[in-house]
Structure 1
Amino acid sequence: MTGLEGDGSSAAEPLADPHGDPFLRTRFAVPARPVTYLRRERLTRRLDQGLRTPLTMVNGAAGAGKTLLVADWAERLDGPPVAWFTTEAAGTGPGMFWAYLLRALHAVGVPPPAGVGFPADANRVNPTLGARLAAELSVRERPVVLVLDEFDRVTSPEIAEQLEFVLRHAGPGLRLVLVTRTEPLLPLHRYRAAGELTEIRGAELAFTPTEAAELLELHGLRLPPAAVRALVERTRGWAAGLRLSALAAGESPDPEVYLKEFEADRSTIADFLLAEVLKRQNAGTQDLLLRVSVLDRFCPGLANAVTGRDDAEAVLARLNRDNAFVEHLGHGLYRLHPLFAEILRAHLRMRLPGLEPELHRRAAGWLRRAGHLPEALGHGAAADDWEFTANALVDDLAIGQFFTGPRSDAVAGLFSRMGREGTGAAPELVRAAGRLARCEIDGGLTHLHRARHELAEHDGTADEAAARLSCALLEALAAR
C-alpha cells in the first residue's frame, strides 16, 4: 500500500479501471487516417506553433476533421512524447477520468505521481493527485504532449477544475491539446489574455476550394474549378460533407452532375447529420431546428414567432457554441448550415406533414410587422398565401418595384407564380402591374378595372388608401 489507505488510490499500475473492467486500449490509440486523408500544412503548422503555449484547442463541428488532423500531426511529431486519451461519455467520475489519463501518460513513459498512484474509486481521487502530478511534470527536461480527444464529453466542472490546476502548475512540462465540439469548462479567457492559448476553430478547419480539389483528386475525381467552388459553397468546406460527397460521386456515371444535383436528404450525409447532430439534442431543441429550417437567416424573435417559443435566443446561442451547425452571422442573426437545413426540411415534411406552409405564414407575418418586406414577400409566396403577399406589397407602397429598382426582376419573378389565387384589390393591382411591366397594356387595364371595382366597394381605410395610390400610379403608367 501507499500509506494512504482509504484515499481511493493504489500505487501499483492496475490491470483494470476503477470499475474492475480492463482498460480499453482503443482509448489510448492514435486514430488511423484513411488512405484518402489530405494533410493540410497550414493547419499542422498551427499545431506546431501550439507547442509554444500550454494549451491548444481544436474546436469544430462533428465531421470537421479535428481528430484526424491532430492524429496525423501527433504521429509525425518529432521530439516530445504524445499521450493520447479519447474521453468517455458524460457522467464519468473523476476517478475514472484520471485513471485513464494517468494510464495514457504511463504508456509514454510518464509514471503516476509518487505516493499517490492510480485512482481506485471511480468517483473520487486523492486530493493531492493534481499537485503531485503537476510537480513531477514541471521538472521534466522536455514536455509531454497530452491529447484529450472528444473532450466535449467531459461535462464535470470538478474534472475541468482539476485538469486546469495541473495545466497551470505543470509549467513547460505539459502541453495540453483539447479536441472538442464545444467550449470546454476551462477558464479560456485567462489563457487568451495571457497569449497562452492556440486555437483552431471551424472557420480554419473548413476546406478551401484548392484543398477540396486536392481531396477530390485523392478520391479519383477531377472536376472543373467552378464545380469545386460550388461544392465548397454548398458544404461550407465541411470535411465530412466533402468526403461523403466524393465517395458517392465516385460511384456515379457522371460525378460532376451528381455533385451539382445530389439531394442531401437522400445521401449518407443525412445519416451522419441526423445521428451526430439532430439526435444529440433534446426533443424541444429538435423541434426548434425542424421549424426554423424554413428560414434562410433569422434572429431569435423570428425563431420564436415561427416556433411559438420564447427561449430561442438561449437555445440558438447554445447550439452555436456547441458547433451544432447553427452559424452566428453577427448582429443577432443566425443561419443553419445549408446541408443541415436541407436535411431538416425533408425531415420536417416527414415528421410534421402539412406544417411547412403555416411556418412560412408565421414568418411572413412577423417579417412584415418588423419592416422586412422582401423577406416577408418570399415567405408569403412560399406559403401560397397570395392575398397576404399582394397586400404586403401594395400596403408598403412598393408596387413601383415592378418597373424600376434593383428588385424589379425578383418581384416580377416572385409574383409570376401567382395564378388566380387571391381576391381583392391588391391581387388585381399586382396582376395589373405584372402585365403593364411586360407592356401588355390591354391585360393590365383589365386588371386595373377589376381593382377599381373592388376599391369602390370598400371604405377609405388606411390600407385602401395605399391601394388607391397604387391604382393611380398604374393608371398613369398605362396612360404613358
Structure 2
Amino acid sequence: MHTRFVPPARPATFLRRPRLAAHLDQALDTPLTMVNGSAGAGKTLLVADWAARLGQPVAWFTDEAGDQGAGTFWAYVLHALRLAGVPLSARVGCPADAGRVDHGLLARLAAELSELERPVLLVLDEFDRQPARQVAEDLEFVLHHAAPGLRLVLVTRTEPLLPLHRYRAAGAITEIRDAELAFTPGEAAALLDRHELRLPDDAVRALVERTRGWAAGLRLCALAARESGDPEAYLREFEAGRSTIADFLLAEVLKRQPAGTQDLLLRVSVVDRFCPGLVRALTGRDGLEPVPAGLHRQNAFVEDLGHSWYRLHPLFAEILRAHLRERAPHLEPELHRRAARWLRDSGALPRALAHSAAAQDWEFAAGALVGDLAIGQLFTGLRADDLAGLFGRMAPEAAGTAAELVRAAHELSRNDVERGLSHLRRAEGRLAAQRAPGAAERLSCVLLETLAARLTGSPCRAERAVAAASELRHEVPARLLEEHPELLALLLTHLGSARVWAGSFDAARAALSEVVGHPGGPATALPRQDCLAHLALIDYLEGRLESAEREALAAKAETERFGLGRPAGAALGRLVLAAVAVERDELDQAEALLAEAAACGPAAPDPVTAAGRSLATARLLLARGDPQAALEAAAPAVTVHVASPWAELGSALVASAAHLAEGRPDTALKVLEHVPHGGEPECTAGLAWARLAAGDRDAAIGLVDRLGPPGLTGTGVSVRAALVRARVAEEAGDVATARKLLARALLEGRRERLRRPFLDAGPGIRRLVDTPPLQSLAAGWLTPGGPRPRDGGAAEPGPLVVEELSGREREVVRCLGQLMTTEEIAADLYVSVNTVKTHLKSAYRKLGVSRRGEAVRQARARGLL
C-alpha cells in the first residue's frame, strides 16, 4: 500500500522535457491542474519528475481501485496529506463508512487547508479509475472552499466530472493534454539516445509519425530495437501486431472496454476514419453513436476529427487489425466490402475503391470507377498514380464491361497501345451484346476511343467518337459531369491533338482553347497543360515564336502550380521551347530543354509529341553542324493511320537543309519537290532557298513572289523570303536593294529574336549585317553591342528607326487594315476587347498617330505591314 502514496521512481532512460515542465510550473498558480492523456502517454512520470524538483512536500495518491467508495477514497486522501506533513488536526476526523463521507468532515478539512501559510500540492494519479460522481462533487467542494491553501493535480485518462468549464472561464486551471504530451522529433531523438540508439533524422521523423509521438510506443520500440541486429531497419519495418506494444495496448486499452465496444474497435480498424453511419454498416448494429465520442473522452486512442468523424491511433489500428485476423480471419474482407459500398453511396469514391481492392472485389471497384464517370482520373489529377497502382493489381479473372474498360484505360495510361486497344475491343464487344448498356459505360468507352484515335493518328476516328460523346452527355446525370470535369476536358484535348496531327490548325485551336478557357483545379490541370502545349506548337509551326514561347511557358506553369512535377504529357511544351531556342540560336538552352522533355517520361507513342521531338532534335543537330545526324533524327518513329502534313513537311525541310549543308543542292531540291504538301509557304521558302543554292536565281525569285505580302505568312517564312531576295540582289551587285531588303528582314526577325535564318544565309549576308546602318538594327539581339566604326573612324549615321511594334501590336494593326471592328479583332486573336484597345493605344503612340487609317498608312510606309 505504501507505493500508492509516493511518486513512482523515474527510470534511467527517462527524458525530462523542459517545455512540459515549464507548463506544469503554472500549476502553482492555479487551484486545479489536469494532465489528461492516453495510456502510456507519460503523464505520471512527467508529474512525478516535476514534483520531485519542487523542493516542497507533495501529497501523492494513486487511485488504483476507484470503486471502493467515497469513504475509502477520502481516507486515502487524508493519509496522503498527513504523510506529506500537512498539519491536519484530530478535529478533521476520518470517514467511518467505506461507502460515504460525512459532509462535516469535508468542511473541516477545507477550513484547515484554507488556513495554511503555504498551499499544499495534492496529486491524484489514475483519477480516471474513480467513476463516482459523488466523489467528484465532494472534491470540488473541498477545492473550492480550501482556496488558496490547496493545489490539486489530477492525472487522468479521461476528463473528470468536475465543473471544468467554470475553471476554464475563470482562468483557474492548468491543462496538459494528449497532443502536448506527444514527443516531438527532437525529443524522440533525445529519448532514443538515452537508449543508446542514434538514427538519421528522417528515420526519427518516420517513427514519430507512426507512433504519433506516443511515449510508451517510443520507449517500447527503443527497447526492442536495441536488442535487434539492425535497429534502424527494425524501427522501419517492425510489425506492431507482434510486439510488446501490442501486448500493452490490448491489455491497457482494448480489454478494459465492454465486449460490444471491443467488437466495434476491431471492426472499425479496417477503415482509416469512421462516423456513426459507417460504424452501423460495419457492425450491423444501431445505437452506437455515443461510443466513439466516449472512447475519445477516455483517451482510448480514438481521435476526434470533427463533424462526428473519428480515427484510431495508427499503431492501435495496426494492432487491432492483426488481432482481428487472429480472432476472425474471414471477417476482414467482408468488412472491406461493407465499407466500400457505404463509402461509394456516401460519395467517397477514392476510399471506396481502396476498400474494394482490399477485399479483392475488383468487379465492384471497376464498376464504381466507370459508373461514377471517374475513369478519366487514371489519366489526370493528383490521384492518377494511386489509381494506376491500385488497378495494376486487378485480378485477371475479374470480368465484365467495366473491368475491361479499366484494363484498357490502365494500359493506355502506360502507353501500351496494343494491349490497351485489345481490352477496348473486348469492352466494345460486351457493350454491343448488352440490351441496354449504361450511359456511363458508353461515355467512358468513347473517351478511350478518342484517346486511341489520338495515339494512332486517326483524326476521323476521333471526330466520330467526340460526336458520339456529344449525344451521350445528355443521358448522363449532370451531377456526374460536374463532379468529373476531367472527362470532357480529356475528350476535347484528344480531339484537338488529333486535329493538330491532321494539320487542321483552326479546328484544333477551337477545341484546345475551349479546355484552356475553362478554369479548373488539379483535376483538369494536365489537360489544360496539354492543350496549351499544342497551342504553342501551332503557333511555332505558323511562325509566331513569341506566342509559342508564351503558350509553352504557360503549359509548364500549369502543372507546376499544382505540384504535378513533370508528367509525360509535359514533354511537348518543352519540345516547343527547344525548337524556339534553336530558331533563336540558343543551342545550349535547346539541348537542356530536350533533356527536360526526355525526363518527362519515355518517348510516348503520341504522334504529335513524337514528331515534335524528332523535328526539334534534328534542327538542333543541324544547327550544331551535324547534318547526317539531323537526317537520321528527322523522321518520327511512330506507326499512324494517317500521315501528318506538317510532320512530313518538317522532316523534308530538315532533310533539304542537311543536303544543302553538305553541298548537294540538287538532292535538296528533289526532297522538297516530292513532298506531298509542297504548296505550304514553308515549303515554298525552302524551295526558293534550294533553287538559289543551285544557282537558279530567277526560279528562286519566282517562288518568293508566290508567297505574297509578308503579313500573310509567318515571321520565319517572311524573313527567309526577304533573305532570298537580299542575297539575289547582293550577288547581282545591287547592294542598296540588298540593304533595304535586309533591313526589312532584320525588323521582322528582331520582333521574334529569330536568328537562325541570318546565320544560315551565307557569308555575304552576314558581312552586310555587320555594316552601318544595318549593324544598329542587329545590335543587341543578332550581334553583340552597338555599331562599330569602320577603319577606326566614326560610325556612319544610320536612318532614324522608330520604336518597333510588338508582335501582337502588328497583328492588331494588320486587322485594322482589313477594316475589322475592335470586337472582331478580339475574336480573331482570342483576346478580350480591353486587351485589343490596350494594344491599339500602344501602336498609335509608337507610330505617332491618333486614328486607325493613319496607323495603317504609317505601318505600310515603314514596311511593318
TM-score scaled by length of structure 1: 0.93
- Aligned-pair CA distance for 1:302: 1.3
In structure 2, distance between residues paired with 1:459 and 1:138: 87
Provide Cα deviations, 1:218-252, integer angstroms capped at 9, x if missing partner: 00011111111000000000000000000001111
Q: Return the match for 2:435 from 435, 440, 459.
A: 459
In structure 2, distance between residues paired with 1:298 and 1:248: 32
Does residue 446 of structure 1 match 2:425?
no
Does residue 240 of structure 1 match 2:216?
yes
Counterparts in 2 of 1:127 and 1:113: CA distance versus 1, 3 Å: farther
Which residue does the alignment assign to 1:346? 322
Return 205-214 or 416-425, whichever deviates more. Answer: 416-425
In structure 1, distance between residues paired with 2:292 and 2:240: 23
- Aligned-pair CA distance for 1:259: 0.5
Does residue 95 of structure 1 match 2:71?
yes
Does residue 63 of structure 1 match 2:40?
yes
Write the mapping of 1:53-452 to structure 2, written as runs, cut at 5 A.
53-79=30-56, 81-112=57-88, 114-452=90-428
Structure 2 residue identity aligned to 1:62: A
- Aligned-pair CA distance for 1:419: 2.4
Which residue does the alignment assign to 2:3? 26
Q: Which ranges in structure 2 are unaligned for 5 or more consecutive residues?
A: 455-865
Provide Cα deviations, 1:13-60, integer angstroms capped at 9, x if missing partner: xxxxxxxxxxx2111011000000000111111111111000000000
Structure 1 residue identity aligned to 2:445: C
Which residue does the alignment assign to 1:11? none
In structure 1, distance between residues paired with 2:64 and 2:89: 23
Which residue does the alignment assign to 2:796? none
Aligned to 2:351, the other structure's residue is in SS state: helix
Pick 1 or 2: higher relative contact order, CA cutoff 8 A, min separation 6: 1
In structure 2, distance between residues paired with 1:441 and 1:281: 56
**CA RMSD across the alignment:** 1.1
Aligned partners of 1:112 and 1:118 also within 8 Å: no
Aligned partners of 2:35 and 2:175 also within 8 Å: yes
Which residue does the alignment assign to 2:26? 49
Aligned partners of 1:113 and 1:133 also within 8 Å: no
Aligned to 2:77, the other structure's residue is in SS state: helix
Aligned partners of 2:88 and 2:112 also within 8 Å: no
Aligned partners of 2:431 and 2:442 also within 8 Å: yes
Which residue does the alignment assign to 1:473? 447
In structure 1, distance between residues paired with 2:249 and 2:64: 21
Q: Count residues with an aligned counterpart.
A: 454
Q: Which ranges in structure 1 are unaligned for 5 or more consecutive residues?
A: 1-23
In structure 1, distance between residues paired with 2:307 and 2:97: 48
- Aligned-pair CA distance for 1:459: 2.7
In structure 2, distance between residues paired with 1:125 and 1:360: 53
In structure 1, distance between residues paired with 2:217 and 2:145: 41
In structure 1, distance between residues paired with 2:352 and 2:11: 47
Aligned to 1:312, the other structure's residue is in SS state: coil
- Aligned-pair CA distance for 1:332: 2.3
- Aligned-pair CA distance for 1:112: 4.1
Aligned to 1:269, the other structure's residue is in SS state: helix
Aligned partners of 1:386 and 1:421 also within 8 Å: no
What fraction of aligned residue pairs are identical, expressed as a percent?
Answer: 72
More helix by percentage: 2
Provide Cα deviations, 1:260-304, integer angstroms capped at 9, x if missing partner: 011111110011000000000010000000011000112221122
In structure 2, distance between residues paired with 1:124 and 1:280: 26
Structure 1 residue identity aligned to 2:36: N
In structure 2, distance between residues paired with 1:222 and 1:259: 12
- Aligned-pair CA distance for 1:72: 0.5
Structure showing greater Rg:
2
Counterparts in 2 of 1:447 and 1:216: CA distance versus 1, 3 Å: same
Aligned partners of 1:373 and 1:392 also within 8 Å: yes
Aligned partners of 2:69 and 2:99 also within 8 Å: yes
Aligned partners of 2:94 and 2:105 also within 8 Å: no
Aligned to 2:330, the other structure's residue is in SS state: coil
Aligned to 2:382, the other structure's residue is in SS state: coil
- Aligned-pair CA distance for 1:460: 2.4
In structure 2, distance between residues paired with 1:362 and 1:333: 18
Structure 2 residue identity aligned to 1:347: H
Aligned partners of 2:269 and 2:321 also within 8 Å: yes
Aligned to 2:289, the other structure's residue is in SS state: helix
In structure 2, distance between residues paired with 1:424 and 1:95: 71
In structure 2, distance between residues paired with 1:258 and 1:307: 35
In structure 2, distance between residues paired with 1:88 and 1:120: 21
